[in-house]
Amino acid sequence: MIAARSLTSLTALFAVVALGSACDKDKPTATTTSAGQPTVATTTAVTPAPTLAPTTVAPVNAKTKEPVVTFKSVGLSTPESVMHDDAADVYLVSNVNGDPSAVDNNGFISRLTPDGKVETLKWIEGGKNKVTLNAPKGIGLMGDSVYVTDIDTVRIFNRKTGAPEGDVKIPGATFLNDLAVTTDGHVLVSDMGMKSGAKGFEPTGTDAVWSIDKAKKATPLAKGKDLGGPNGILPTTDKVWVVTFGSGEMYTLDSKGKKAEAKKLPMGQLDGIVMLPGGDVLVSSWEAKAVFRGKPAGDFTSIVEDVKSPADIGYDQKRSRLLVPMFEVDEVRAYEIAR
């Protein structure tokens, strides 16, 4: 994540990451980071915004791994996270729209259709309709609500209308990133432990994974610099998988926050993580400009390459599509992949 297209800031960010913290963007032609999301009733109609016509959907090429859908130059601005709302059958995209740590209230959430159209570019927009949204990143769905991380607060919106429904402040957090919902109704969020400083992005030491219960109370599942700048989180039945931007690790946390099963992937600066129906895991890597696939306890290989700044990836289970937000180039791509 990066302030308004500043390559200098991005370089500074990566330098900080190498020490153990980390994360995020350019400006907007359309072509055609979680488990256990509950199902809700079909969403109400949303008035579509003017869009460019999509081009024809291209077939998958196993060698070139070409996307089947690409959203480019359609108004996206620093897209950080993409999630498939299966009830509405749309892709929700969080747009930082500038500095990922600035309290500027200019962030927004877009609704994109699987056939390559922009249904509503600014469905939820900071500064409009009583919405506060500074630098939205991770997105999660639970019941009739959309949960979004925003620097030090989790924002909640109505899943059908986009209207604000409340906030959950995370004590001491400095850079909330990914968000995931558990099957028992908890919301997990990662804090990468960083802030903007005089020399660019600097570590804060607030690295943590937080849990928000049904009463909207936030408690730390795990805290400490040894978490390595936690970014993507993936809850399973008995543990939480975490990938880090800072240390380039993948590891688990148990119900008491104990870290285990740590391993390095082929390259680092890891961002998003999703699990396929067969149990394989997909992980995005900024350093590799790729998305890796593998078994949690096995080897990982790249299945999508040459994707600049792949952030919090999503998965469209209906179409078996990997959804990749490209943070620095204001683009979102969808790739068909084998289950």
Global pTM? Answer: 0.83
> Which residues have CB under 8 Å from 256's CB, separation 6+?
none
Give me the pLDDT at residue 263, please.
96
Q: pLDDT (tens digit, 9 = 90+) per residue, 159-183?
A: 999 999 999 999 999 999 999 999 9
Compute the average pLDDT of residues 313-320: 98
Q: How many CB atoms lie within 10 A of CB 268?
A: 21
- Which of the four pLDDT bands, split at 50, 70 and 90, describes residue 201? confident
CA atoms within 13 A on the CB side of 288: 21
Give me the pLDDT at residue 49, please.
39
Is 191 contained in some domain? Answer: yes
- Which of the four pLDDT bands, split at 50, 70 and 90, describes residue 200? confident
Is 256 contained in some domain? Answer: yes
> Percent of the chain scored above 90 by pLDDT?
78
- Beta carbons of 302 and 287 less than 8 angstroms apart: no
Q: Which pair of tokens denotes residue 256?
A: 């008491």
| pLDDT at residue 41 greater than cutoff 80 | no
Is 1 contained in some domain? Answer: no
* Parent domain of 256: 7-336
Is 283 contained in some domain? Answer: yes
Give me the pLDDT at residue 69, please.
98
3-class SS shares of the chain: helix, strand, coil, % to 5: 5, 45, 50
Q: pLDDT (tens digit, 9 = 90+) per residue, 224-241?
A: 999 999 999 999 999 999
Give me the pLDDT at residue 38, please.
32
Is 306 contained in some domain? Answer: yes
Q: pLDDT (tens digit, 9 = 90+) per residue, 255-292?
A: 999 999 999 999 999 999 999 999 999 999 999 999 99
Give me the pLDDT at residue 197, please.
75
Q: Which pair of tokens denotes residue 14?
A: 């990566």
> Percent of the chain scored above 70 by pLDDT?
81
Q: Cα separations (Å) of 50 from 75, 86, 118, 172? A: 11, 23, 8, 41
Give me the pLDDT at residue 11, please.
36
| pLDDT at residue 307 greater than cutoff 60 | yes
| pLDDT at residue 5 greater than cutoff 70 | no
Q: How far apart are CA 119 and CA 113, in angstroms?
A: 6
Is 74 contained in some domain? Answer: yes
- Which of the four pLDDT bands, split at 50, 70 and 90, describes residue 20? very low
Task: Look at the chain and report how many structural domains it folds into.
Answer: 1
Give me the pLDDT at residue 317, please.
97
The domain that holds 252 is classified in CATH as 2.120.10.30
Q: pLDDT (tens digit, 9 = 90+) per residue, 63-107?
A: 347 999 999 999 999 999 999 999 999 999 999 999 999 999 999
269: buried, middle or exposed (CB in 10 Å: 19+, 13-18, 0-12)?
A: buried
Which amino acid would we find at residue 275? M
